[in-house]
Amino acid sequence: MHQVVTAVDGALKVLGIETSCDETAAAVVVRAADGTGRILSNVVRAQWEKHRPFGGVVPELAARAHVECLDDIVREAMLTAGLTFPQLDGIAVTAGPGLIGGLMVGVVTAETLALLNQTPLIAVNHLEAHALTVGLTEGLKPAYLLLLVSGGHTQLLAVHDVGRYTRLGSTIDDALGEAFDKTAKLLGLGAPGGPAVERAAATGKTGRFELPRPMHGRPEPNFSFSGLKNAIRLAAQAAAPVSDQDIADLCADFQAAVAGSVADRVRKAFVLAEAAFGAGAPKRLVVAGGVAANQALRASLSSVAAEAGYALHVPPVALCGDNGAMIAWAGAERLARGLVDPPGIVARARWPLDADAKAVLGKGRLGAKA
């Protein structure tokens, strides 16, 4: 294992590489000795054009696209940061969860760079990177309650510390981002679906379509979105042929149903979080992952948090979706604690943050990022 040698001022400069899904990303961040962070560069290249004809992410195409551009993206991140490889204190790479071909591209690249430059290597869990982003953007450190909402995950977690998580709730079927993407596809909107639904909803009115609020009132803070997706399909069929206004109204009602359901689930999680952290702990709700960019969801969570005396923390929109800065930052947080990895990192399609959490239903989801 490499010896961790910090710069004279205790600052750590870390390169982060992200290739777990359909974004190729690299970034350099610096973590000061006082634990605060700064982004020196953050380069993200989305692959949507390559996947659009197939209506979803094709794993093999994603892996090839990462191979084609990762070297350029890393070079650009280093140039923008104004650093050479020997000046880095660590190289962090997403090792899971995600699409295995893409993960391997990132891992091989990071290991090669680390070996050539004798730089410590850090294998980062993509979900941990989302979970810790608020540490980079606003210096917020655990403990806090986390709502993680992305294309592959929908979970509520007690974040005790870096590397220490308790899952309080999870989806029993689709992830929230997946529900946005499938709704967009059903309504003939472009990809990625989340932003497309949000744009369409902006000109829609709520209250026209009666949609379910999944799991409403259930005591455990779990989620379900497949019934809602089905209800949207039935409502769209009943309104066919749909006009642009119908689509806008459907999207507005979909977002309202999502926001209502998530708010109800988060309210239930507050009780569990207080038990997990103790009654006197600061009440903090963090929202992370691609869907955290959604303004309707943010607004709903903002009132739920205020109602319960919680402070709401959400990264800026540009850092909600997948990016290299969050990987570099999670790597820097681990490096500062001496948590480095020997060469031979194994890419993992599944890698839960809470290894002890039991499946919510049956064997649980077996999807790429579950």
Q: Which residues in this chain contact Zn ion in the complex, by CB under 5 A?
A: 150, 322
290 binds ligand KG4 (CB under 6 A): yes
Interface map 311-330 toward ligand KG4 (x if CB under 6 A): ----------xx--------
Number of alpha carbons in the 13 Å side-chain half-sphere of residue 23: 21
* Nearest-approach distance from CB 277 to ligand KG4, in angstroms: 25
Q: How far is the CB of 128 from Zn ion (least distance, A)?
A: 11
> Residue 298 CA to chain centroid, in angstroms?
15
Closest by CA position to 7, among listed 120, 92, 157: 120
Q: Please tell me the count of residues contacting ligand KG4 according to CB under 6 A.
A: 19
Under the binding rule (CB under 6 A), the answer on residue 147 touching ligand KG4 is no
Q: Cα(311)–Cα(333) distance, rounded to whole angstroms?
A: 23
Q: Give the pair of three-digit tokens for residue 48.
A: 């949507």
Q: How far apart, in whole angstroms, are the C-alpha atoms of residue 75 and residue 239? A: 51
Alpha-carbon distance values, 14 to 2, 84, 203, 331, 342 (Å): 15, 11, 43, 7, 16
352 binds, options ligand KG4, Zn ion, none, Cβ within 5 to 8 A by partner type: none
CB of 271 to ligand KG4, least distance (A): 27
Choose which of 47, 94, 261, 294 interacts with ligand KG4 (CB under 6 A).
294
Residue 269 interacting partner from ligand KG4, Zn ion, none (CB closer than 5 to 8 Å by kind): none
* Residues 35, 311, 195: CA angle, nearest 5 degrees: 90
Binding-site member from 21, 39, 250, 368 for ligand KG4 (CB under 6 A): 21
Asked whether position 198 contacts ligand KG4 by CB under 6 A, the answer is yes
Using only C-alpha atoms, what is the Rg of the chain?
20
Q: Output 37 or 290, the one with its CB closest to Zn ion.
A: 290
Which tokens go with 200? 């369409």
- Select from ligand KG4, Zn ion, none the partner in contact with residue 24, using the beta carbon and a kind-dependent cut-off of 5 to 8 Å: none
CB 253, min distance to ligand KG4, A: 15
Residue 291 binds ligand KG4, judged by CB under 6 A = yes
Closest approach, Cβ 126 to Zn ion, in A, equals: 6
152 binds, among ligand KG4, Zn ion, none (CB under 5 to 8 A by kind): ligand KG4
Q: In this structure, what token pair is assigned to residue 195?
A: 């932003």
Instruction: List Cα–Cα distances, 229 to 154, 165, 201, 212, 250, in angstroms.
Output: 15, 30, 16, 10, 11
**Beta carbon of residue 197, minimum distance to ligand KG4 (angstroms, whole number):** 6
150 touches ligand KG4 by CB under 6 A: yes
Compute the distance between CA of residue 223 and CA of residue 225 in angstroms, rounded to an integer.
7
Kindly tell me which of 245 and 295 has the beta carbon lying closer to ligand KG4.
295
Least Å from the CB of residue 249 to ligand KG4: 17
Decide if residue 96 touches ligand KG4 (CB under 6 A): no
Which is nearer to Zn ion, 111 or 322 (by Cβ)?
Answer: 322
Query: For residue 14, which of 29, 32, 34, 33 has the smallest C-alpha distance?
Result: 29
Where does residue 314 rank: exposed (0-12), middle (13-18), buried (19+ CB within 10 A)?
buried
Burial state string for 122-161 with b = 16 or more CB within 10 A and e = fewer than 16: bbbbbbbbbbbbbbbbeebebbbbbbbbbbbbbbbbbbee
Nearer to Zn ion, 99 or 189 (CB): 99
Among positions 126-145, residues that touch ligand KG4 (CB under 6 A) are none
293 touches ligand KG4 (CB under 6 A): yes
Q: Which amino acid is at 184?
A: A
Taking each helix axis from N to C end, the angle separating 176-186 and 226-239, rounded to the nearest 10 degrees, works out to 20
Is 18 an interacting residue with respect to ligand KG4 (CB under 6 A)? Answer: no
Instruction: Report the residue number, 29 or 113, with the smaller CB distance to ligand KG4.
Output: 29
The contact set with ligand KG4 (CB under 6 A) reads: 21, 150-152, 177, 180-181, 192-195, 198, 289-291, 293-294, 321-322
